[in-house]
Amino acid sequence: MAWAPVERAQAAIKTRATRGVRGLLLRRHNPSMDDLKEEIAATAARLVVEEGLEYGPAKRRAVKQLGVPSRSALPDNDQVEAAVEEYIAIFCAESQAEELQALRELAVQWMQRLEAFRPHLGGAVWRGTATRRSDIYLQLFCDDPKSAEISLIDKGVRFEVRSVPGLHGDMVDALSIHALCMPLGEQVGVHLLINDLDDVRGALQSDSKGRAPRGNLAAVQKLLGEVDGK
């Protein structure tokens, strides 16, 4: 069956977005650092959207997939985020808004259950670039670092504990849960990162573009209300 013009165009764009740097090197004897960063960002964006990777792991895997030197200069998170937004606009425009809404609703449910620990939503679900492959990341701020674990146990919630880099680069506990997202019809990873109560102020500092890096329950509910009010 012949492809429609729009389908052909999308396929061509996807090929350009996901091709390796080696093809670029064949066409250009001296590719610039910006060219390589652009290729890495495009490949990382595909991994973020299609596999739900966070930006750091996506960039590292993109370097391996493209076969460029491991010490190559990487695009910053803003460049990857721009590539993610472009990828979503091209390939996920019809489904992404509903998937994002479902994930934010699930995040609110867990934030309400964990309200005593001052939950703040971050990651792609907060930024608005999440798809059904994305996990939910909640930063909790606790007087007692074990109090969240005890609360989950009391509620009969099964979870796994691992250590991950925290807000300031120090290793913190992350409690990982598999939660059913009814609108998506599948399990979603919900990760609870345990922080000291004193860290809550630093967690709200704006980024280089003046954007809040995460939001509390009221902020996420406001996002949902803005969508419902359209």
Domain ranges of the chain: 5-91, 96-228
Taking only the tens place, the pLDDT of each residue in 119-172 is: 999 999 999 999 999 999 999 999 998 999 999 999 999 999 999 988 888 899
Residue 141 CA to residue 117 CA, distance in Å, equals 5
Q: What is the signed CA dihedral for 78, 79, 85, 90, rounded to 10 degrees? A: 180
Is 3.40.50 the CATH number for 96-228? no
Q: pLDDT tens digits for 85-122?
A: 999 999 999 999 999 999 999 999 999 999 999 999 99
Query: Nearest CA to 133 among 217, 45, 62?
Result: 45
